[in-house]
Structure 1
Amino acid sequence: MSSEDLMKTWQQVAPVHSQRCYVSITVVDNFIYAMGGFDGYIQLNTAERYDPDTNQWTLITPKHERRSDAKATTLNGKAQPRPQARKPSPSKQLWDKEEALRLLLMGLLCSFQNCCICGQSGATIPCWARHCNLSFHLPCAKQGGCVTQFVAPYRAFCPAHSPQQAVEATPEPGTQCLICLEPVEDRNTFNTLVCPACRTAWFHRDCIQGQALHAALLSLQCLHCRNDDTFLRDMITMGIRIPFRAPSWESNTAFAELEERHRRCDASECLCPGGRQEAEEQGPWELLLCSSCAAEGTHRHCSGLRDSIAS
């Protein structure tokens, strides 16, 4: 929508390419820039530019990081998003208290419900489908084919009302899971999922869940077509838990072993009085590593080399 300064009325204009809320907005050179935001499932890194003369939105280079709830400003003729720390309003704080009370009462009421999977009491997760009174335990969800979604509004569904993939695809005979390379079922089921983008990549639920826990939101994608947006949305809908963090292999200690240097003499007979672990910076007990792989080494003296011979 746009506002006429003189008429003070609203006009309908061209829609953006992607629905988004909590979006960063700024104006540069009479162009309106919309960056990031939240589409109801994940944070976005896409950005669009609106041209009032042509009434068109154009996709521009996406941001490096997915971000929502950020301010935006103009600096040196460029749009600059800035993280925003929001202070909860009194109405928001009141809503939080009411929501916490509602969840507490729901938990107390559901604690008397029997699980539709195991039949035991204490089933605190109700099905979100209208007029469905079934509840279940979280540990029983996978066993019974229940879907629990791990993004707001955190919906859960019993086996009868669990969402199904809208993709109409059937695996070829002998199709294997791209992760474990074991055969998948002959059709799309709770335990067998397909990429909605390419429709040729099939996964076991357990396999893609394990991949999601390692790759996380910033790196998870289809292993075949490399699609991320459509793939992420569908996996979230189907109850795959995708942590919002960097992938596990980018942690500070993920590649620590690659920085370790071999520190042991591997000669058949080590002559060092201090043992195989002893190593000096120079001299007869200097540890010389293999010049090709550096995976093995010997003391200079244990290899029969003189102190003056370069390694």
Structure 2
Amino acid sequence: MQKEYIAEEFRQLQDKITRALENCDGGAQFHEDIWEREAGGGGRSRVIKNGNIIEKGGVQFSAVHGELPEKIKNKLKLEADDFFATGVSLIMHPENPHVPIIHMNVRYFELNDGTYWFGGGIDLTPIYVDKNQAKAFHLEMKKVCDKHNPEFYSKFKPWADEYFYLPFRNETRGVGGLFFDHLNDSSGMTKEQLFAFVMDVGELFAPTYCEIMRSNASKLYSEQEKDWQLHRRGRYVEFNLVLDKGTKFGLDTNGRTESILVSMPPEVRWTYQYEVKEGSKEAETLQLLKKDINWLEPISV
């Protein structure tokens, strides 16, 4: 399986996702920027804004190559000189606080010495945690995992809990999902089998999230709920700028800054010592932003 084939499949995945989101939102279309990376390769950045449901969102495709920066070589302890990386990444920031933020990415990395791996993930970040919605989301995650390897969900769900965690807040970013990295032949699966899994994760996004959008977009919300949304978006910014490895990799490899930082929400708020009232919906959500919750079982909180 050649890297060019993988890149083309990712390119087509971007097309499918953007068409589905435009149809579901019904009020806005994606604007596309085609860009080139001076050191090699390029991509397509697609951004949607001020739709009926999506306030701001981005679906990015890239296929870049060139000399591997020393910072990356040292960090990953690699000897190879050249790299190729391709993938699709996306983030959706809805206008309504009852529609969760969502992130997804699938990616492939290859070195000139033949080393390769796949990575990716999908996670849901509700402003107010709905336990039934979280359960339905995780059921879809488990289905796609079980289709390819019965051990995947039990590995990749805890990995997401650990990865999408803000240690300085003692909070998970949301209700998690899947996260995986460095998937290669050592997994006991072939390259073709791993790519099939990665593509199924990518294909899962649109129908899963469009159903969530349709189910929640018409719900009324108060000024307090909107204020809480803006503060929770602040946690999203903190994670992406302080902890996210994808953001760091993009910047370290001289990626296109506008495309990398399109994940930032359109509006955000920080308040010094923001007060959360005991017994409130906000307090209940904070109690559920924890690692190792089994969303497939009844939850007492």
Tell me whether the two structures share a fold, i.e. TM-score over 0.5. Answer: no
More helix by share: 2
Q: TM-score, normalised by structure 1?
A: 0.22
Choose between structure 1 and 2: higher strand proportion.
Answer: 2
Instruction: Output the TM-score relative to the length of structure 2.
Output: 0.22
Larger relative contact order (CA 8 Å, sep ≥ 6): 2
